[in-house]
Structure 1
Amino acid sequence: MKIFNDPVHGTMIFPPKLVEVIDTPQFQRLRNIKQLGTTYHVYPGASHNRFEHSLGTAHLAGKFIRMLQLNQPELDITEDDVLCVEIAGLCHDLGHGPFSHMFDQMFLSAVDGKNEQWQHEQGSCDMFDYILRTHNIKLSKCDERHTKMAKMIKLMIKPPKKNGPQEDRDLVKEKPFLYEIISNERNKVDVDKWDYFARDCHQLGIRNSFDHERFMRLCRVIEVDGVKTICAHQKESKNLYEMFHIRAALHKRAYQHRISSAVNLMICDAFISAEKNGFCVGEYKMSEVMEDMKTYTDFDDNIIDRIMQSKLAGMEKSQDILKRVKSRDFYRFVGSKIIPLSQKEKCDDRKAIAEKIANIAGLPSDRNVHELVAVNVAKFDYGMKHKNPCDEFYFYAKEKPNVAFKVKSEEVSEMLPKVYGEYEIQVFCKDKVYEKKVKEAFKTWAENVL
């Protein structure tokens, strides 16, 4: 057993099998990947890493599954099930690249749209397999059981799609509620969010009004349309809305803050330029390094220092951008425009938006537009695009604890939002010489975009 003293959850105790995973270089790598990426440039307290978030998620996952095991023995939750849930919570973020979502959501999409085929959840599953194989970690003495448990863990990290392999879907059907604890695709209510809401709010100095402890204690598994599903007491409906409100607020105030977006764009530009000029991690390009988990183990936020120290020809542009980041000479924010989810097509092509604004500004024809203007599209929602995720959640009443039902939003409050998402187009000028022109051009463009 190993004990960790955590500023959010207090004492966390992990069994030997989790400690085996924690003590591998692949898991320790998460100490060098900031949980909130470039948000550290806005909030000095946002210095926590994926490492402590992963420990916290494993802690909450174990706590939650044991509550269900104790309160509902008829669910036949075994110790192997508990171990799988804990390890899935521990390993769910192993696949994150440098600066978290900057890598998989911004950089990879800018390089041949590679994030359409790869996301960090797949990287987490690949890295988990690599850990088991490389360090000879056995989840069970029985090889057949070990193989099944490893598959269960990967499906908890990355749930199968409706049209996914039948074998995977059949495995999930055995105890479907187990696959709602770490990554809940049905309604986005899971312990991963509970930890990062509490942890991020703690580090950012923002009040967290969602009580995950109370919510967890009032959950139970009920059969809904033949599927055993995690449900909550109906009086927790307000608390559930508060959870998604906190999510939206954190995105607005921190995760997609305009300064954080500017730094993300700068690091992304530095990565793209470095890759074009032959910079590699081991034998792999940065956009291909996830193909080899051994090399990926050494791929973290410290890649910035490696780029800065590189002697390769043509690295000057990348290094100049990173020097600007270090001296806080960020891309200049010139304005933003809110776009309804119903008009998503207006913000699909960021390059086209940049070109239109550059044309209005009359920027020099001998300069590449994308070296002068950058566009970021920030998405704010409750986790399910235009949908209200609470509409997908089931509740129960004290007098009928085994009957699940939905609670309509108007039954909770008439003050709840009527729209559950929006886009914000954020525009930046990369060269301060043209800042005024780009700002005026943005105003003209914004007046006519809708």
Structure 2
Amino acid sequence: MPVIIRDPVHGAICLDELEKEIVLSRPLQRLKGIRQLGLVDSVYPGAAHSRLEHSLGCMHMAGRMAEHLGLPAEDVKKVRLAGLLHDLGHSALSHAVEGVLSRNPDLQPVIEGRSVFRHEQFTRSIIMEHPFPEEALEIAERLYGEPGQLFFEVAEIASGLRPPLGQIIMGDIDADRIDFLLRDSHHAGVSLGLVDTDQILQALTVKEGRIVLAGQGDYSAEMSQTAAESMLIARAHHYNALVYHPRVQSLRAMLLSALERALQGLPVNEARSSIILFFREYTDPDLLDFIRKNGDGACRSFLDSIIFGRALPLAARFDHRSLPPDIRMALSTISRHGRMKKLFEDSLGRKYGALVDVTAGSGVPRTMRTEARAFLYDDSPLAAGLVRSLTRQIAISFFSDGRPEISLLEIREQAERLLTFIRSESSLPIDGLLLLFFTLHRMLSESFGEKVLVPRIRNITWLYRTVARIRELGLSELSNLFDYSFQGHYGFPYSERLFEDIQILVASGMIYQDLRHYEREGQWLLRYEYMLTAEGIKYADSVSNSYKRESEALARHLRQEKHSIPYDVVSLNLRSYSGKRD
């Protein structure tokens, strides 16, 4: 018999017999003891809802999306199961645990021969093990056949595979995001923008086996775009209001510090075994108890402060408005490499007697397409602006009871020393992308007295094709510098990571992104063109010292391709372009 659950966001949620047995299982019930928003309830007391509540909401929303898209009944049921189980591998106080693992690769557990540090990897593993009661497995076998095959498919869907099913759980507009934006806003008591589920559902359709925004140059296309934009606005507000609130950020940094110290006091194998339990067995109270038992006096002092919401005061904060472009670029690079981030934060923390937290925006939409075969951010200037807004959320914060005098010069010097060291060990793909723009600039720019002609690359797809071509050629000097993976189902080689790196270069002030209209088949469309900034030239010039062989190889390759480079030139005042003032 179906069971009906009353949900504060969606109202009545109906569970079938298999879903009911899985909800009652130990792995799902563990999620009752894990708060969806971690420590946010210290600032927003109502935001104490659990991951189980969110999982039920995600299941419900996933089913609605699948039914609207006209998917077969069996696929609807599998998508609902994937929504229900998509957070199964979340650790207690998960973002602190994942932060510790990202910063300390030696502590990362090994699953199927690979080091793991993200909850999605644990989730996939647990679903495939299907550790559910016998009653649930018997129902699964009766309805679907071999349970192992069913849960293998569900694990893939929950991981974002098997489109269009996986896109419903893990896409730019998915059931997970829709539910947590609605639920977090409801419980926190904060309006995070308009998320109209009916409008969002009407905006989606399936074309060529993938979910896209419905409509082609008509009113329905406009409404679909509006629905997608509303999701992006809500997402940006979510980060600003909840995730980056200074007190929440301080408590999160305190928890990370206490947990890291507690784990480092254990033998490595014992620490790894404990971490596996964090993802499979522990609730939030269990993790806090672990810190109390295994941490030193400083850990326990932090723990007491966390429990009672006594955050360290924000002593100083620098963000995109106060950080020069070169420091923004350096911090953005450091923030995405856990070990580098730990070295950087710990070094500055010791110098200033503070907890240091470098943060960078995430959740940038990368793959949402329209029915007219364009990316959302190509069709919508608002979406493109919101992408930039999310990407430029780079900041460095200092939390301390004292009042340290923070020097931007010291931050710059520490970052430069660390990046020089890292580059001596391995190549950074975003450096390669910047060097590509730098090489194009040196090859195509010209100066005439007080004027300079600056090249502006006309087509982002040319950048994708060029980097993919360099990888295909297997040029030995460049094999590690452009370590991007590409997919080809859009009709051209596309890389999500390369797109995100371009947005980081724009947000950091390294390249300038300009909007241009062009006509194709009677339609006026938008495209984005890219030009190296004066700050980008200075930063790339310093970076090139670490990549002399690579820079020479890149220049040789681009000279051979010069005739096919799509670019215009912009005439600028040389003094203004170089950043000089009268």
TM-score normalised by L of structure 1: 0.76
Q: Which has the larger radius of gyration?
A: 2
Query: Gaps spanning 5+ residues in structure 2: where?
Result: 109-114, 216-220, 416-534, 536-582
Contact 1:350 1:375 in 2 (8 A): no
* SS of residue matched to 1:180: helix
Is the contact between residue 238 and residue 412 of structure 1 (CA under 8 Å) also seen in structure 2?
A: no
1:178 match: 165
Question: In the alignment, what sits opposite 1:375?
Answer: 356
Identify the residue that residue 286 of structure 2 maps to in structure 1. 303
Structure-2 residue corresponding to 1:401: none
Question: What's the Cα RMSD here?
Answer: 3.2
Give the corresponding residue for 2:406: 441
The separation in 2 between residues aligned to 1:274 and 1:342, in whole angstroms, is 32
Residue 118 of structure 1 is matched in structure 2 by 117
Note the C-alpha offset of 1:118. 2.9
Secondary structure of the residue that 1:441 maps to in structure 2? coil
Match 2:388 to one of 409, 416, 419? 419
Aligned residues: 387
Q: Cα distance, 1:182 vs. partner?
A: 0.6
Give how far 1:19 is off.
0.6
Write the distance in 2 (CA, Å) between the matches of 1:221 and 1:319.
Answer: 53
Deviation for aligned residue 1:415: 9.2
Task: State the Cα deviation string for residues 46-104 of structure 1 (Å, max 9, x = none).
Answer: 111101000000001111112222xxxxxxx4332122100100000011111132222
Question: For residue 195 of structure 1, what is the aligned residue in structure 2?
Answer: 179
Larger mean CA deviation between 243-252 and 29-38 belongs to 243-252
Structure 2 CA distance for partners of 1:318 and 1:2, relative to 1, 3 Å: same
| Letter of the 1:241 counterpart | E
Alpha-carbon distance in structure 1 between the residues aligned to 2:155 and 2:241? 32
Shift of 1:370: 7.7
Cα pair 2:288 2:303 within 8 Å, conserved: no
Give the direction of change, closer, same or farther, for the CA distance of 1:315–1:408 in structure 2 (3 Å limit): closer
Q: Distance in 2 between matches of 1:315 and 1:135?
A: 43
Q: Which moved more, 1:325-334 or 1:261-270?
A: 325-334
The residue aligned with 2:227 is 239
Q: CA deviation at 1:259?
A: 1.4
Higher relative contact order at CA 8 Å, sep ≥6: structure 1 or structure 2? 1
Shift of 1:143: 7.7
Residue 92 of structure 2 is matched in structure 1 by 98
Q: Between the two proteins, what is the percent identity of the paired residues?
A: 21
Distance change in 2, residues 1:131/1:57 (3 Å)? same
Aligned to 1:129: 128
1:49 maps to amino acid: S
Aligned residue identity for 1:372: G
Deviation of 1:291 after TM superposition, in Å, equals 4.2
Contact kept? 1:307, 1:318, Cα under 8 Å: no
Structure 1 residues 239 and 114, CA gap change in structure 2 (3 angstroms): farther
* Distance (Å, rounded) in 2 between the aligned partners of 1:409 and 1:229: 16
Match of 1:350 in 2: 341
User: In the alignment, which residue of structure 2 is the partner of 1:221?
Assistant: 206
Aligned to 2:9, the other structure's residue is in SS state coil
Matched, 1:256 2:249: no
Question: In the aligned structure 2, how far is the partner of 1:257 from the partner of 1:8?
Answer: 24
Q: Which residue of 1 aligns with 2:4?
A: 3
Deviations 1:144-182 (A, max 9, x none): 65333212111111135xxxxxxxxxxx3xxx2112111
Query: SS where residue 281 of structure 2 aligns?
Result: coil
The CA distance in 2 between the partners of 1:329 and 1:291, in whole Å, is 29
Distance in 2 (CA, whole Å) between partners of 1:12 and 1:87 is: 14
TM-score by length of 2: 0.60
Q: 1:411 to 1:22 in 2, by over 3 A?
A: closer
The alpha-carbon deviation at position 108 of structure 1 amounts to 1.5
Separation in 1 of the partners of 2:167 and 2:44?
Answer: 32
Partner of 1:14: 15
> Distance between the aligned counterparts of 1:218 and 1:423, measured in 2?
28
2:80 counterpart letter in structure 1: E
Per the alignment, in what secondary structure is the counterpart of residue 284 of structure 2? coil
Deviation of residue 37 (structure 1)? 0.6
Deviations 1:231-259 (A, max 9, x none): 33412102211211211211122112221
